[in-house]
Each structure stands twice: as structure tokens, then as C-alpha cells.
């Protein structure tokens, strides 16, 4: 089973591939573009990861995206109203949210593959849950307290969870 993980349209865009639950390759887009904290669709990282894994996009079983456009949606709206975010900034964010929500379309366009040939199931995961999962599932611990403290991904800056027996419970 192959999982393609993507961080897109957010600072430090990147990609990784797991095979049967084991990380086999990861790359950050700035490595290829030479633009610090690049924040678009990480097509170069995805290409590199697929090549290193020796597979093509049609062989990927799951795609996970480290953003959930629905997470804290009303907080995002109230923030835009309260802080009088510019219309241009709002439109840019809405465009990015739309693109995050349609990753299969982005992959189809970037790799010139018809959408219907991309068989992978797509999952949008809340930003901090992505951090928590990547730290717990990559560790050797069967049981662990997990803390994610980060900028403000998906409008949350901190998340605490407990991991046990391949399951995570956000507290």
C-alpha cells in the first residue's frame, strides 16, 4: 500500500511517500525551487518522491493532505471580519482552499493524467492532526502523549493527544 502525503498551498510545501506504513521518501519543495518556505502545489517534491519510490501516481492507494478546509471554518471567517483582511488576501485564501479541496484535480493537471485514472482515496487531515500522526506513527512507542505546537495551521496553534496501539485520541 502506498500513501502520498502532501502539504500544499501553505508554507513549506512538501510531499512524502509511505509504503506499508513505513516512510520511504520525503522532500520539501524549496529544495527544488530554491525559494524559502515556498507555499504552492509541491509538484517537484511529488515527482521526486514518486521517482524515488519507483512508482507512478496511478499506483498510489491514498493521498493525504495536511489541511482540512472545513476545520475551524467559522473562526477563519470571524478573523477575516475582525481584522479587516483585504479582499485580495481573502480571494487568494479562498482560491487556495478551493485547490486544497480538489487535490485530485491538481494532481491530474500537474501530471497530465485524467482524473479518473487517479484511483487513490483522498483524505484532508487537520494540520495539527497531521503533525501528531507523523510523530506518533513514525516513533517506536506503542503508547505516547503527543503535543503539537506550531504556527497557526487550520487556525489552531496547539493540540494535545494520546496515542496507543496505532490509534490517536485528540484531547
Q: Structural domain boundaries of the chain?
A: 2-125, 127-171
Q: Which three cell numbers stand for residue 6?
A: 502532501
pLDDT score recorded for residue 157 = 75
Q: What is the pLDDT of residue 99?
A: 67
Burial of 135 (0-12, 13-18, 19+ CB in 10 A): middle
Task: Strand 143-149: give its sheet, edge to edge.
Answer: 143-149, 158-164, 167-170
pLDDT at 98: 64
Q: What is the pLDDT of residue 95?
A: 66
Under CATH, which number does the domain 2-125 receive? 3.30.420.40
Buried b (16+ CB within 10 A) or exposed e, 10-46: beebbbbbbeeeeeebbbbbbeeeeeeebbebbbbbb
Task: Quote the pLDDT of residue 35.
Answer: 92
Which of the residues in the chain have pLDDT under 50?
Answer: none
Amino acid at each position: 500500500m502506498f500513501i502520498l502525503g502532501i502539504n500544499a498551498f501553505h508554507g513549506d510545501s512538501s510531499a512524502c511517500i509511505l509504503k506499508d506504513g513505513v516512510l520511504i521518501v520525503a522532500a520539501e519543495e524549496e529544495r527544488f525551487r530554491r525559494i524559502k518556505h515556498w507555499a504552492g502545489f509541491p509538484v517537484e517534491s511529488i515527482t521526486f518522491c514518486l521517482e524515488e519510490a519507483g512508482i507512478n501516481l496511478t499506483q498510489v492507494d491514498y493521498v493525504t493532505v495536511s489541511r482540512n478546509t472545513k476545520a475551524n471554518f467559522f473562526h477563519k471567517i470571524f478573523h477575516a471580519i475582525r481584522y479587516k483582511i483585504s479582499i485580495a488576501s481573502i480571494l487568494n485564501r479562498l482560491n487556495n482552499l478551493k485547490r486544497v479541496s480538489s487535490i485530485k484535480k491538481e494532481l491530474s493537471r500537474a501530471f497530465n493524467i485524467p482524473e479518473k485514472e487517479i484511483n487513490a482515496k483522498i483524505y484532508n487531515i487537520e494540520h495539527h492532526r497531521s503533525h501528531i500522526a507523523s510523530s506518533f506513527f513514525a516513533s517506536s512507542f506503542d503508547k505516547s502523549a503527543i503535543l503539537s505546537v506550531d504556527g497557526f495551521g487550520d487556525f489552531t496553534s496547539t493540540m494535545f493527544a494520546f496515542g496507543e496501539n496505532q490509534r490517536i485520541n485528540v484531547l
